A and B are shown apart, each in its own frame.
Chain A
Amino acid sequence: MKRVMKEFTGGNAMVSVLAVLASFIVGGILIAISSTEVQTTITYIGARPADFFNALWNSVFGAYDAMFRGAIFNYKAHDGVQMIKPITETLAYATPITMAGLGLAVAFRSGLFNIGGTGQIIFGAMFAGWVGIYVDLPFYIHFPLAVLAGIIGGGLFGALVGFLKAATGANEVIVTIMFNYIAVLLLSYLLKTPILQAPGSVNPVSPPVRDSAKYWFFMGDQFRIHGGLIAMLLAVIFTWWLLNRSTLGFRFRALGHNPNAAKVAGINIGLTYVLVMGISGALSGLAGTSQVLGTEKFLTLGVAASFGFDAITVALLGRSNPWGVLVAGLLFGGLRAGAVTMQANQNVPIDIVLVVQSLIVLFIAAPPLVRAIFRVKESKKAVAA
């Protein structure tokens, strides 16, 4: 508990929390400005100021209230299923974002800026999808095999980046960005060939995944939440163990903090690059399985959605700490789920949520800004003479 508090009050975690808070405040201002009600009432604010403040309160409170009802608990719903549906939606969105976020966190901690979440999710989804659609086996073999295929798919695609960096010195940022295009275009191509396209379909859609390869929908079919949630928690624990308890993770971190010292200590840098990117990609691949074998149940072009990029923010917001990534992933899942209700009920453009997400990135990227706003003192640092 003491350690949890320390993590939480330590400069870094605090900056993350404050960044989120600041973003919501700025988001609120934007919601108010974009509200037509507020715009009209301000024209006669001198005559009837109460109207203006009412409109202000309604727009901001209404929007965030709608977000709450869309993301956590809908207290206005008429039956139990509708009431708890929002939180399950949040978890359904949070699952792939967190998994991919963990993958990127592993890379970030090892000093590699992996931007290839999208591509690695797609490769995981393609491998898992192919096994899930075309292989016919009993459930207890088929499902693990399909998940494993997804992990391997993402892992290989990631490891290839590590190999290119080790062998040629290629910059991983550029390579992963380009690999995202390769993955997207390859998926788009395969969805138009018999390899993945549903027979008789003219749309770029695959046949559905067989039931024997699907995640367990433990709350029934009316919810989109599934066994991927358990896989996500296992992935958090795995990543924590990898980074904090394993010797392999120790070498990853050594490479991340000081590649020179790692080299002098006899750590094989090239091999470590391959392993880091392999594991990083494997976790994103797992995110792909959660989509194709769970939420979506078949392969489309939109299988990776924006999860690959959300995962970057989530990894940064979570300070590349597995538990932090989990919290950030849940927050982003909630933002996504809540945004839909916010738009439907309050007519607040869904883009406001995108703005809030972007502001979070901005505030995290500029810790001094957040410190200045909230007057947080920088953690004591001895300055050398």
Chain B
Amino acid sequence: MTGRMRSVLIAGFLLAAAMLASLLAGAKLLPPSSLLDLLQGRDSETAVILWQLRLPRLALGLVVGAALGAAGAIIQAATRNPLGDPGLLGINAGASLAVVTGSGLFGLAPTMTVWLASGGAALAALAVHAVAGAPRGPSAPIKLTLAGVAVTAFCLGIGQAIALADPERFDLVRNWRVGALSGDGLALLPAIALPLLMGVALAALLAPRLNLLALGEDRAAALGLSVGWTQAGSLLAVVLLAGAAVAAAGPIAFIGLAAPHIARRLGGADQRIVLPLAALVGAALVVVADTLGRVVVPPAELPVGIVAALIGAPVLATLARPRRSEA
């Protein structure tokens, strides 16, 4: 067994453990034997809890986490920016603002907000590039990150203004705004399926090209890669994946940042491995964050977005510290 295969197996095992914990933990702790109720199709309260609450929530967490993890991996590879994250680069905030505006202000149905979220994410991504002055070279990551901070702040400010203008209407999206799997996001799964599939297909096509891009834009171009199209396709994939994830569960920060870093530690630098592995790790992180949020202050819960931020902040701090070899 190769080291890479072992890493993938470890990641898969951790995801399976997180899934099991997500099914059994919550305001009511279920014994492992309760899973038999689920398998035997018994009409018990436990079976109802598993079928109606835990499984749909788990499914939503897996989908959202995988989408954010893959989006993070694509954006980090395409911009060659280790701080690339749909959250840090303003993409989540743009999608969030579009949903808040659409559903909070115009009362649009949740299924409509999926494409709205993707549109908001695209606009935010373009705004970040414009604000950063379409940067190239070694300073590009920091310029993009700073522009992302500015666009995020702008989107959050507008969102707050809308919230203050009509608190009652805005109440409908208050929980979603902090990133939560507790609502009826599962009902959105059919609506987000198409952008997600499109994003995944695009990511699969892009993976080998992103490997070339990792050599540097000039070398990649010399090897026959259309750098502009690859970056545009990457942006589209990120917009589709992150937009769908935000529409379903709200803006969840740091998953898109942390998952690719963990995936690279586990699987090396080949984007054909990193992209699916980042999706796997992202799914595990969201499921773990959601499960933790359900057990730390029962019967109340901390939304997954808040727990992810609490976990992600030290991760970001660790990444920002220079390694010994760089010191």
A and B associate: no
